[in-house]
């Protein structure tokens, strides 16, 4: 029990420290790398809670896809981070005030959550005869099949909408080949012979 508690404090400390580095680091690539570290420690905390499916999901989805996507976007885009830092420094007092309010709310929630002013009712108790991965699958595809399918449809519509918004004719600079025009080209519509006088130039 003490070893598990020590692991909890270790992973929690690394998680909080890496999260602070994410929002304070000047190098964006370093921020993304520490974000990956924060995700890994959050997955370790899920493992300590016995939620191995959520831990693997966090590693596969967030570390393997979203964080890597952030890293590629940051490395490929040529963003002037000095100007962005100046913009953030202008609003630093407001950001600090919001941070203090959030920490105060977290402190109040943590303090009053230990006081039992309500009755705890478990609608879906944790089964002991099957793994939690199978239990989550049973709940998703039986009791919550409609919200699960609706969420998938909403994400699909959002993806299609994002693709449609990026394919506007007036914002695209794409040259397309027309095979039929190339096949039916003739000398008359593809070649122009200009006789230039000696010593004269060509107006292009």
Examine the domain organization and report whether 69 and 140 are in the same domain. Answer: no
Examine the domain organization and report whether 130 and 59 are in the same domain. Answer: no
Give the span between the Cα atoms of 58 and 46, in whole angstroms. 9
Q: What's the domain count of the chain?
A: 2
Residue 128, phi then psi, degrees to nearest 5: -105, -15
Residue-wise pLDDT for 3-21, tens only, equals 888 888 899 999 999 998 8
Please identify, among 44, 78, 112, the residue that sits at the C-terminal boundary of a domain. Answer: 78
Does a structural domain hold residue 22? yes
Average pLDDT, the chain: 78
Does a structural domain hold residue 154? yes
Residue numbers of the domain that contains 128: 124-169
Does a structural domain hold residue 152? yes
Give the span between the Cα atoms of 203 and 49, in whole angstroms. 77
CATH number of the domain bearing residue 20? 1.20.120.1200
User: Would you tell me how many other CB atoms lie within 10 Å of the CB of residue 185?
Assistant: 11
Does a structural domain hold residue 129? yes
Examine the domain organization and report whether 8 and 66 are in the same domain. Answer: yes
Please identify, among 78, 113, 135, the residue that sits at the C-terminal boundary of a domain. Answer: 78
Does a structural domain hold residue 95? no
Residue 176 CA to its chain's centroid (Å):
33
Q: What is the pTM of this model?
A: 0.56
Does a structural domain hold residue 201? no
Please identify, among 78, 113, 134, the residue that sits at the C-terminal boundary of a domain. Answer: 78
Does a structural domain hold residue 5? yes
Judged against a pLDDT cut of 70, whether residue 113 lies above it is answered with no
Does a structural domain hold residue 182? no
User: Using H for helix, E for strand and C for coil, what is the string for 134-177?
Assistant: HHHHHHHCCCCHHHHHHHHHHHHHHHHHHHHHCCCCCCCCCCCC
Give the span between the Cα atoms of 155 and 49, in whole angstroms. 29
Residue-wise pLDDT for 184-204, tens only, equals 888 777 777 777 777 666 665
- pLDDT above 70 coverage of the chain, percent: 77
Judged against a pLDDT cut of 60, whether residue 129 lies above it is answered with yes
């Amino acid at each position: 029990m003490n070893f598990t508690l020590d692991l909890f404090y270790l992973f929690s400390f690394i998680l909080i420290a890496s999260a602070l580095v994410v929002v304070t680091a000047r190098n964006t690539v370093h921020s993304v790398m520490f974000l990956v570290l924060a995700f890994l420690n959050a997955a370790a905390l899920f493992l300590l809670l016995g939620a191995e499916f959520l831990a693997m999901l966090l590693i596969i989805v967030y570390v393997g896809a979203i964080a890597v996507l952030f890293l590629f976007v940051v490395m490929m885009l040529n963003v002037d981070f000095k100007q962005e830092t100046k913009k953030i420094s202008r609003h630093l007092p407001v950001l600090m005030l919001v941070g203090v309010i959030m920490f105060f709310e977290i402190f109040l929630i943590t303090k009053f959550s230990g006081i039992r002013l309500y009755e705890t009712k478990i609608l879906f108790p944790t089964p002991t005869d099957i793994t939690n991965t199978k239990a989550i699958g049973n709940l998703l595809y039986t009791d919550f099949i409609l919200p699960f399918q609706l969420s998938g449809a909403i994400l699909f519509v959002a993806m299609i909408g994002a693709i449609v918004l990026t394919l506007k004719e007036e914002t695209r600079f794409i040259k397309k080949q027309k095979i039929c025009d190339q096949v039916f080209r003739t000398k008359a519509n593809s070649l122009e012979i200009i006789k230039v006088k000696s010593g004269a130039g060509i107006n292009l």
